[in-house]
A = this chain, B = another copy of it.
Amino acid sequence: MDSWMAHLSEAGYRITTPRKAIAEALLDAEVPLSAYEVLARAQACHQQLGLVTVYRTLDLYEELGLVCRVHLKEGCHGYVATTPGHRHVLLCQRCGRSVEFAGGGDLDVLVADLERRTGYRVRDHLLQLFGLCPDCRRVGA
Protein backbone atom coordinates (compact mmCIF):
# COMPACT_ATOMS: atom_id res chain seq x y z
CA MET A 1 0.00 0.00 0.00
CA ASP A 2 2.71 2.48 1.01
CA SER A 3 4.71 1.04 -1.81
CA TRP A 4 1.90 1.73 -4.26
CA MET A 5 1.70 5.32 -3.04
CA ALA A 6 5.44 5.61 -3.50
CA HIS A 7 5.09 4.37 -7.08
CA LEU A 8 2.47 7.03 -7.72
CA SER A 9 4.65 9.78 -6.32
CA GLU A 10 7.74 8.71 -8.17
CA ALA A 11 5.83 8.69 -11.44
CA GLY A 12 4.60 12.22 -10.75
CA TYR A 13 1.03 11.37 -9.79
CA ARG A 14 -0.72 12.71 -6.74
CA ILE A 15 -1.63 10.65 -3.73
CA THR A 16 -5.35 11.06 -3.24
CA THR A 17 -8.05 9.63 -1.05
CA PRO A 18 -9.73 7.75 -3.94
CA ARG A 19 -6.42 6.26 -5.01
CA LYS A 20 -5.69 5.12 -1.48
CA ALA A 21 -9.14 3.62 -1.08
CA ILE A 22 -8.86 1.73 -4.38
CA ALA A 23 -5.38 0.44 -3.56
CA GLU A 24 -6.68 -0.78 -0.23
CA ALA A 25 -9.56 -2.63 -1.85
CA LEU A 26 -7.31 -4.32 -4.40
CA LEU A 27 -4.65 -5.32 -1.93
CA ASP A 28 -7.16 -6.74 0.50
CA ALA A 29 -8.95 -8.80 -2.14
CA GLU A 30 -8.19 -12.49 -2.44
CA VAL A 31 -9.98 -12.80 -5.78
CA PRO A 32 -10.02 -10.69 -8.94
CA LEU A 33 -12.49 -7.85 -8.70
CA SER A 34 -14.56 -6.24 -11.38
CA ALA A 35 -14.51 -2.46 -11.60
CA TYR A 36 -17.84 -2.42 -9.87
CA GLU A 37 -16.66 -4.64 -7.04
CA VAL A 38 -13.66 -2.40 -6.56
CA LEU A 39 -16.05 0.52 -6.24
CA ALA A 40 -18.20 -1.22 -3.67
CA ARG A 41 -15.25 -2.18 -1.50
CA ALA A 42 -13.39 1.08 -1.81
CA GLN A 43 -16.47 3.00 -0.78
CA ALA A 44 -15.92 1.60 2.71
CA CYS A 45 -12.96 4.01 2.92
CA HIS A 46 -14.26 6.74 0.69
CA GLN A 47 -18.00 7.12 0.66
CA GLN A 48 -18.52 9.37 -2.35
CA LEU A 49 -16.16 7.53 -4.71
CA GLY A 50 -17.50 7.20 -8.25
CA LEU A 51 -17.17 4.45 -10.82
CA VAL A 52 -15.45 6.76 -13.28
CA THR A 53 -12.59 7.27 -10.89
CA VAL A 54 -12.33 3.53 -10.40
CA TYR A 55 -11.86 3.00 -14.13
CA ARG A 56 -9.34 5.80 -14.36
CA THR A 57 -7.40 4.56 -11.37
CA LEU A 58 -7.36 0.97 -12.58
CA ASP A 59 -5.92 2.18 -15.89
CA LEU A 60 -3.30 4.10 -14.01
CA TYR A 61 -2.34 1.20 -11.76
CA GLU A 62 -2.16 -1.08 -14.74
CA GLU A 63 0.12 1.39 -16.50
CA LEU A 64 2.35 1.42 -13.43
CA GLY A 65 2.37 -2.37 -13.40
CA LEU A 66 0.62 -2.60 -10.05
CA VAL A 67 -2.45 -4.30 -11.35
CA CYS A 68 -3.01 -6.79 -14.08
CA ARG A 69 -6.09 -7.15 -16.18
CA VAL A 70 -7.43 -10.64 -15.86
CA HIS A 71 -9.58 -11.86 -18.68
CA LEU A 72 -12.19 -13.94 -17.00
CA LYS A 73 -12.94 -15.84 -20.17
CA GLU A 74 -16.32 -14.22 -20.58
CA GLY A 75 -17.57 -11.18 -22.35
CA CYS A 76 -14.65 -9.92 -24.37
CA HIS A 77 -13.81 -8.61 -27.75
CA GLY A 78 -12.18 -9.96 -30.87
CA TYR A 79 -12.40 -13.32 -32.56
CA VAL A 80 -10.19 -15.15 -35.03
CA ALA A 81 -10.72 -18.34 -36.89
CA THR A 82 -8.45 -21.13 -35.68
CA THR A 83 -7.62 -24.60 -36.76
CA PRO A 84 -9.04 -26.92 -34.12
CA GLY A 85 -6.25 -28.02 -31.80
CA HIS A 86 -4.15 -24.95 -32.40
CA ARG A 87 -5.25 -22.91 -29.50
CA HIS A 88 -2.78 -20.02 -29.36
CA VAL A 89 -2.37 -16.88 -31.30
CA LEU A 90 0.44 -14.50 -32.09
CA LEU A 91 -0.94 -11.17 -33.19
CA CYS A 92 0.75 -8.35 -35.06
CA GLN A 93 0.22 -5.12 -33.16
CA ARG A 94 0.45 -3.04 -36.28
CA CYS A 95 -1.54 -4.82 -39.00
CA GLY A 96 -3.50 -7.20 -36.81
CA ARG A 97 -2.60 -10.35 -38.76
CA SER A 98 -2.23 -13.43 -36.65
CA VAL A 99 -0.40 -16.73 -36.69
CA GLU A 100 -1.56 -19.72 -34.72
CA PHE A 101 0.62 -22.11 -32.85
CA ALA A 102 0.11 -25.26 -30.81
CA GLY A 103 0.68 -25.42 -27.07
CA GLY A 104 4.06 -27.01 -27.36
CA GLY A 105 6.48 -28.65 -25.00
CA ASP A 106 7.93 -25.54 -23.40
CA LEU A 107 4.56 -24.47 -22.12
CA ASP A 108 3.97 -27.94 -20.70
CA VAL A 109 7.27 -27.71 -18.87
CA LEU A 110 6.28 -24.36 -17.42
CA VAL A 111 2.90 -25.70 -16.33
CA ALA A 112 4.38 -28.82 -14.75
CA ASP A 113 6.91 -26.75 -12.87
CA LEU A 114 4.23 -24.40 -11.63
CA GLU A 115 1.98 -27.23 -10.48
CA ARG A 116 4.81 -28.65 -8.47
CA ARG A 117 5.66 -25.35 -6.83
CA THR A 118 2.15 -24.11 -6.05
CA GLY A 119 0.11 -27.25 -5.53
CA TYR A 120 -2.42 -25.96 -8.03
CA ARG A 121 -3.71 -28.28 -10.75
CA VAL A 122 -3.74 -26.43 -14.07
CA ARG A 123 -6.71 -27.25 -16.26
CA ASP A 124 -6.81 -24.51 -18.84
CA HIS A 125 -4.84 -21.53 -19.99
CA LEU A 126 -4.91 -18.43 -22.07
CA LEU A 127 -1.77 -17.55 -23.96
CA GLN A 128 -1.64 -14.78 -26.49
CA LEU A 129 1.45 -13.13 -27.87
CA PHE A 130 1.67 -9.68 -29.36
CA GLY A 131 4.40 -8.33 -31.59
CA LEU A 132 5.29 -7.39 -35.14
CA CYS A 133 4.94 -9.57 -38.19
CA PRO A 134 7.84 -9.75 -40.67
CA ASP A 135 6.28 -7.14 -42.99
CA CYS A 136 5.62 -4.63 -40.28
CA ARG A 137 9.09 -5.07 -38.81
CA ARG A 138 10.50 -4.08 -42.17
CA VAL A 139 8.34 -0.96 -42.42
CA GLY A 140 9.18 0.02 -38.86
CA ALA A 141 6.13 0.46 -36.68
Contacts and interface: CB of A to CB of B under 8 A. Distances in A.
Interface of A: 7, 26-27, 29-35, 38, 58, 62, 64-82, 84-85, 87, 89-93, 95-99, 101, 104, 106-107, 109-111, 113-115, 118-134, 137
Contacts of A29: 80-81
Given A33-B79, A97-B30, A120 B131 contact: yes
- For this chain, the copies found in one complex come to 2
Interface of A is mostly: mixed
B27 A81 contact: yes
A38 B85 CA distance: 23
Given A31-B95, A68-B82, A79-B67, A132 B110 contact: no
A25 B90 CA distance: 20
A87 B70 CA distance: 11
Contacts of A90: 114, 118, 120, 122
